[in-house]
């Protein structure tokens, strides 16, 4: 009897609730109708990527503000206000993909990417199936672009450039030139692709290469990997890492008595937390970044890189990081392509993105056939006196490389 | 409750739950025609958690062995499918069943030593077992792709089974939830089910009345592993690219436990209610309160556990028997 009552109530409540949910989404072309252009953005506001996800959202918000300050998006004789519908994907790839599907139900076809390669990779597959189009702001793993997808475009440099740019900077600037490089890498797709790119660049530049030695993503103890490369006494140690592992490498290199001339790391050194955590020990460490305020190039919306930095400072009370910048650039690329297409039709926008070639505060944005932005160089910074100073490429350098970097 | 169910009468009354179960599945199929494809995917996630919560309920609810490593079966099932389809070129359908069986064997194997532990010790041991298994999967990069994930073949010549799409996965996960519901329904009314309840209430007494407790527990653990393993397999195929971090995410175990506890543990319908309610509420909160949805969800879970410590299904059953519907009285009755 009780079970029956429960069954009945579940069926009724469930059916009612779900029908209610069914009438909510309008499958019509709401994204282009009226006088608003709504983009969909699944952002990681909670979960382990919450910090980076929030910075990404800030970048999108500033873009909306700037575009609307100029009147909006000019599409085929009409000017549309720009709006972004934000949803939290809780840092999970399955949810990020599900949200892209939900945007599609609401007729939102133009999508801004979530944070990180795993989320973006899951989203890209759905984008392709739904004939939507996405500009990716932070999914750098080259794997995403090796699948033949035609509707995902990334404004940022691919993962294979992260460690490679440090190698190129050293080959270019360091004198006397180091001869051996050891690679360490976190065990996730993005970091491994970055490390492999670095190894290839190092071999091409004639360095003796050790590794990459792997440790778990998020590790705070990397001593076993360091012990494996200790025997070869490398001149340079390059870590393909995130913040936690990056901090661990700098600490443990000292503790284990390794004496490299330089440590280079992807992702970690440009973040403010790196210097705050390590203090003086951070000095001399090299890092690669998608963007710094020394990057050259300007556009009509954000001005140049230092104007962008000032705007982020004003709006959010902190210096602009590359997570902010790449998000704003992705949003800008989508807006410019929509204007160029003269339509909000996703296929027209896709074609306009494929043909896009613009200079922005983020640098040049031009996509290759797979959707990667290969025209923009990454910048290499060195921590000098607690500050991240851009040292490479030479035409953007704020200061010169201190060498040997670790002064020992 | 047990005495009431033992008076077996093959009447309309005993047949009704089965008929309603069929009706529930039919309603879900009818609902599909009313949904946009993206909403179908959202509802698919609900079915997935219904199946997972039901699988946990067998070992955690009926038997009283709170497994905090249940996600291991989900992960193992997913990875078995990924490896079988990628390296061995198996069809998904073969891999689906094989993943369930593989997870069941794994459950039996680890269950034999672990099910000797009780209470907190069992919970901690299963938690460790799941974490350990994830490390093993992460450290076999040739086989599993390691931390970088593994991509199942779904396009081109390598694809052994055509990708099902949102509509296909809707039916697949609904079928898995229906199987889990059927298995639970059958067990709940069988002698085996009463053996599980006896173990839950007093394991030594259960052994004294002739129940082979070790065998019963291991079989249940394996069976719950079989169900969760098949769900993991379907999930892997749906996601295409899977990572150990997500496939062995302890949060999935916690969700199963919370769903069963809120819905009513040791009942057939409780986990279904818990999973549907929690997934629906969390989805609704995320869409409407983007900034504070996790906080609100946490608050609702706390409130639900305080007001309905025995779960909704058990509360309704007791309230109908005693005529006492007051939630405050309920809190007093179950106060810790």
Digit-coded pLDDT (tens) for B75-112 = 999 999 999 999 999 999 999 999 999 999 999 999 99
Q: Report d(CA A79, CA A13) in Å as an integer.
A: 44
A8 part of a folded domain: no
Is A198 in the same domain as A169?
yes
B47 part of a folded domain: yes
B88 part of a folded domain: yes
Q: B78 to each of A127, A401, B99, B146, B172, how far by Cα in Å?
A: 23, 48, 7, 14, 15
pLDDT tens track for B230-276: 999 999 999 988 999 899 999 999 999 999 999 999 999 999 999 99
Give the distance from residue B82's alpha carbon to the nearest chain A alpha carbon, in angstroms: 16
| Contacts with B245 from chain A: Cβ below 8 Å | 217
Q: Using the structure block, give the residue that is written with the tokens 């794994």.
A: B106
Residue predicted with more confidence, B2 or B35: B35
Q: Using the structure block, give the residue that is written with the tokens 């809190």.
A: B331
- The DSSP element (H or E) to which A303 belongs, if any, is strand A303-304
Q: Are A109 and A128 contacting, i.e. CB atoms less than 8 angstroms apart?
A: no
A4 part of a folded domain: no
Q: Are B262 and B301 contacting, i.e. CB atoms less than 8 angstroms apart?
A: yes
A49 part of a folded domain: yes
Judged by CB atoms closer than 8 Å, whether chains meet at B313 and A6 is answered as: yes
Q: Report d(CA A214, CA A196) in Å as an integer.
A: 12
- What average pLDDT score do residues A170-175 get? 90
Is A134 in the same domain as A80?
yes
Report pLDDT for B9: 57
Report pLDDT for A22: 43
Q: Report d(CA B88, CA B143) in Å as an integer.
A: 11
Q: Which of B17, B38, B313 sits opposite A105 (nearest CB)?
A: B38
Is A68 in the same domain as A123?
yes
Is A281 in the same domain as A166?
yes
A314 part of a folded domain: yes
CA dihedral B154, B159, B161, B165 (to 10 degrees): 20
For A149-202, list the strands marked E by DSSP. Answer: 152-154, 180-186
Report pLDDT for A20: 43
- Chain A interface disruption, residue of B1, B27, B41, most A CBs within 10 A: B41
Judged by CB atoms closer than 8 Å, whether chains meet at A88 and B290 is answered as: yes
Residue A324's domain comprises 36-157+294-366
Is A73 in the same domain as A212?
no
Q: A241 to each of A187, A260, B146, B148, how far by Cα in Å?
A: 9, 18, 16, 13
Q: Report d(CA B263, CA B270) in Å as an integer.
A: 4
HSE (side-chain half, CA atoms, 13 Å) at A140: 26
CATH of the domain at A360: 3.40.50.2300
Classified as helix, coil or strand, A266 is: strand
Is A133 in the same domain as A232?
no
Report pLDDT for A219: 86
Q: Report d(CA A337, CA A342) in Å as an integer.
A: 8
Q: Are A75 and A37 contacting, i.e. CB atoms less than 8 angstroms apart?
A: yes
Q: Which residues pair with A389 in a beta bridge?
A: A382
pLDDT tens track for B150-181: 989 887 777 888 888 888 999 999 999 999 99
pLDDT at A23 over 50: no
Q: Report d(CA A80, CA A249) in Å as an integer.
A: 49
Output the average pLDDT for chain A.
88
Is A273 in the same domain as A386?
yes
Percent of all residues in chain B with a pLDDT value above 90, rounded to a whole number: 67
Report pLDDT for B326: 84
- What average pLDDT score do residues A308-322 get? 93
Give the distance from residue A371's alpha carbon to the nearest chain B alpha carbon, in angstroms: 19
Q: How confident is the model at residue A273 (pLDDT cuts 50, 70, 90)?
A: confident
Report pLDDT for A27: 46
Residue B41's domain comprises 2-249
Report pLDDT for B324: 82
Percent of all residues in chain A with a pLDDT value above 90, rounded to a whole number: 68
| Contacts with B252 from chain A: Cβ below 8 Å | none
| Contacts with B280 from chain A: Cβ below 8 Å | 17
Q: Report d(CA B183, CA B178) in Å as an integer.
A: 9
Report pLDDT for B5: 52
B144 part of a folded domain: yes
Count of domains for chain B: 1
CA B312 to chain centre: 17
- Between chain A and chain B, how many beta carbons pairs sit less than 8 Å apart? 138
Q: Are B249 and B134 contacting, i.e. CB atoms less than 8 angstroms apart?
A: no
Phi, psi of A381 (to 5 degrees): -115, 160
Q: Report d(CA A196, CA A141) in Å as an integer.
A: 11
Residue predicted with more confidence, A305 or B15: A305
Give the distance from residue A60's alpha carbon to the nearest chain B alpha carbon, in angstroms: 16
Q: Are B78 and B242 contacting, i.e. CB atoms less than 8 angstroms apart?
A: yes
ipTM over 0.85: no
- What average pLDDT score do residues A317-346 get? 94
Judged by CB atoms closer than 8 Å, whether chains meet at B240 and A103 is answered as: no
| Contacts with A46 from chain B: Cβ below 8 Å | 293-294
| Contacts with A186 from chain B: Cβ below 8 Å | 147
A1 part of a folded domain: no
Which residues, 6+ apart, have CB-to-CB distance to B77 below 8 Å?
B99, B100, B102, B103, B228, B229, B230, B231, B232, B233, B236
Report pLDDT for B10: 60
CATH of the domain at B124: 1.10.3470
Q: Of all residues in chain A, what percent are helix, strand and coil, respectively (each to 5)?
A: 45, 20, 35
| Contacts with A214 from chain B: Cβ below 8 Å | 146
Report pLDDT for A24: 37
A54 part of a folded domain: yes
pLDDT tens track for A93-152: 999 999 999 999 999 999 999 998 899 999 999 999 899 999 999 998 888 998 889 999
pLDDT tens track for B206-227: 999 999 999 999 999 999 999 9
Give the distance from residue A398's alpha carbon to the nearest chain B alpha carbon, in angstroms: 36
A78 part of a folded domain: yes
- What average pLDDT score do residues B192-208 get? 95
B13 part of a folded domain: yes
Report pLDDT for B6: 53
A408 part of a folded domain: no
Nearest chain A residue to B319 by CA distance is: A2
| Contacts with A22 from chain B: Cβ below 8 Å | 31, 34-36, 39
Q: How confident is the model at residue A217 (pLDDT cuts 50, 70, 90)?
A: confident
Is A304 in the same domain as A269?
no
What is the model's pTM?
A: 0.86
pLDDT tens track for B12-25: 767 788 888 899 99
Is A385 in the same domain as A311?
no
If one counts every other C-beta atom within 10 angstroms of the C-beta of residue B125, the result is 19
CA B248 to chain centre: 14
B270 part of a folded domain: no
B119 part of a folded domain: yes
Q: How confident is the model at residue B8 (pLDDT cuts 50, 70, 90)?
A: low
Is A190 in the same domain as A150?
no
Count of domains for chain A: 2
Judged by CB atoms closer than 8 Å, whether chains meet at A11 and B280 is answered as: no
Judged by CB atoms closer than 8 Å, whether chains meet at A105 and B36 is answered as: yes
B181 part of a folded domain: yes
If one counts every other C-beta atom within 10 angstroms of the C-beta of residue B181, the result is 20
pLDDT at A28 over 60: no
- What average pLDDT score do residues B280-303 get? 90
């Amino acid at each position: 009897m009780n079970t029956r009552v429960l069954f009945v109530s579940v069926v009724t409540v469930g059916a009612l609730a779900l029908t209610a949910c069914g009438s909510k989404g309008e499958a019509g072309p709401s994204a282009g109708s009226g006088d608003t252009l709504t983009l969909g953005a699944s952002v990681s506001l909670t979960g382990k990527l919450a910090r980076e996800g929030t910075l990404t959202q800030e970048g999108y918000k500033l873009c909306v503000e700037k575009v609307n300050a100029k009147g909006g998006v000019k599409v085929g004789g009409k000017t549309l206000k720009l709006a972004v519908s934000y949803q939290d994907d809780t840092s999970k790839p399955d949810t990020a993909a599900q949200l892209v599907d939900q945007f599609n139900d609401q007729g939102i076809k133009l999508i801004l990417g979530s944070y990180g390669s795993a989320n973006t990779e899951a989203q890209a597959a759905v984008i392709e199936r739904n004939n939507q189009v996405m500009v990716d702001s932070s999914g750098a793993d080259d794997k995403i672009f090796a699948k033949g997808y035609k509707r995902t475009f990334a404004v940022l440099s691919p993962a294979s450039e992260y460690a490679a740019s440090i190698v190129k900077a050293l080959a270019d600037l360091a004198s006397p030139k180091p001869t051996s490089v050891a690679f360490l890498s976190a065990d996730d797709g993005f970091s491994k692709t970055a490390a492999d790119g670095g190894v290839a660049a190092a071999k091409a530049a004639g360095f003796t290469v050790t590794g990459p030695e792997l440790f778990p993503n998020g590790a705070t103890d990397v001593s076993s990997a360091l012990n494996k490369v200790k025997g070869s006494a490398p001149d340079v140690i390059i870590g393909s890492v995130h913040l936690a592992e990056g901090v661990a490498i700098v600490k443990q290199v000292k503790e284990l008595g390794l004496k490299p001339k330089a440590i280079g790391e992807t992702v970690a050194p440009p973040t403010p937390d790196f210097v705050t955590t390590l203090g003086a020990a951070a000095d001399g460490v090299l890092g690669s970044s998608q963007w710094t305020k020394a990057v050259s190039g300007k556009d009509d919306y954000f001005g140049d890189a230092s104007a962008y930095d000032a705007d982020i400072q004003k709006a959010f009370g902190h210096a602009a990081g590359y997570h902010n910048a790449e998000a704003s650039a992705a949003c800008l690329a989508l807006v410019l392509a929509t204007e160029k297409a003269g339509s909000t039709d996703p296929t027209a926008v896709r074609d306009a993105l494929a043909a896009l070639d613009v200079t922005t505060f983020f640098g040049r944005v031009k996509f290759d056939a797979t959707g990667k932005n290969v025209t923009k160089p990454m910048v290499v910074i060195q921590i000098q006196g607690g500050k991240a100073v851009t040292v490479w490429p030479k035409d953007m350098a704020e200061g010169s490389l201190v060498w040997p970097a670790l002064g020992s | 409750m047990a005495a009431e169910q033992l008076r077996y009468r093959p009447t309309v009354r005993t047949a009704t739950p089965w008929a309603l179960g069929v009706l529930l599945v039919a309603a879900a199929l009818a609902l599909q025609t009313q949904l946009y494809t993206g909403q179908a995917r959202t509802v698919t996630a609900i079915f997935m958690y219904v199946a997972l919560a039901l699988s946990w309920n067998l070992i955690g609810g009926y038997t009283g062995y709170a497994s905090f490593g249940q996600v291991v079966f989900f992960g193992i099932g997913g990875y078995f499918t990924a490896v079988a389809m990628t390296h061995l070129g198996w069809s998904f359908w073969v891999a689906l069943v094989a993943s369930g069986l593989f997870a069941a064997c794994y459950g039996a194997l680890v269950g034999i030593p672990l099910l000797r532990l009780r209470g907190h010790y069992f919970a901690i041991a299963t938690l460790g077992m799941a974490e350990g298994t994830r490390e093993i999967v992460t450290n076999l990069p040739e086989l599993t792709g390691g931390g970088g994930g593994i991509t199942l073949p779904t396009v081109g010549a390598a694809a052994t089974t055509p990708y099902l799409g949102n509509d296909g996965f809707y039916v697949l996960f609904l079928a898995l939830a229906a199987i889990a519901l059927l298995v639970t329904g059958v067990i709940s009314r069988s002698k085996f089910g009463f053996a599980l309840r006896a173990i839950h209430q007093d394991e030594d007494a259960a052994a004294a009345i002739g129940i082979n407790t070790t065998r019963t527990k291991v079989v249940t653990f394996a069976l719950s592993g079989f169900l969760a393993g098949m769900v993991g397999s379907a999930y892997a195929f749906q996601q295409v690219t899977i990572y150990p971090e997500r496939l062995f995410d302890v949060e999935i175990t916690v969700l199963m436990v919370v769903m069963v506890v809120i819905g009513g543990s040791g009942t057939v319908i409780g986990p279904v209610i818990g999973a549907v309610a929690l997934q629906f509420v969390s989805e609704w909160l995320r869409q409407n309160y983007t900034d504070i949805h996790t906080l609100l969800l946490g608050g609702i879970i706390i409130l639900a556990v305080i007001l309905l410590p025995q779960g909704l299904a058990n509360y309704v059953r007791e309230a109908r028997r005693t005529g006492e519907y007051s939630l405050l009285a309920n809190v007093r009755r179950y106060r810790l």
